[in-house]
Amino acid sequence: MPATIPTYDLMLLLDPKAEDRIREKIRTDVRTMIEGAGTVVGSQEYGARRLAFEIDHATEAEYDLFQFEGPKELLQQLQRTLSITDGVTRFRIIKVRPGTPAAPDLRQATTAAAEAEAQESSDSREHSRDRD
Q: What is the pLDDT of residue 93?
A: 96
Is the CATH number 3.30.70.60 carried by domain 7-101?
Answer: yes
Q: Where are the domains of the chain?
A: 7-101, 105-132
What is the DSSP annotation of 54-107? Answer: EETTEEEEEEEEEEEE--HHHHHHHHHHHHT-TTEEEEEEEEEPTTPPPPP-HH
Residue type (1 letter), 40: V
Confidence of residue 118 (pLDDT cuts 50, 70, 90): low
For a pLDDT cut of 90, what percent of the chain falls above it? 59
pLDDT band at residue 98 using 50, 70 and 90 as cut-offs: confident
Of 53-57, 73-77, 113-117, the least confident: 113-117
3-state secondary structure of 18: coil
Q: In this predicted model, which residue has the larger pLDDT, 58 or 99?
A: 58
User: What predicted TM-score, i.e. pTM, was given to this entire model?
Assistant: 0.74
Name which residue leads in pLDDT, 66 or 121: 66
- Of residues 128 and 97, more confidence is placed in 97
Residues in CB range of 75: below 8 A, 6 or more apart: 8, 93
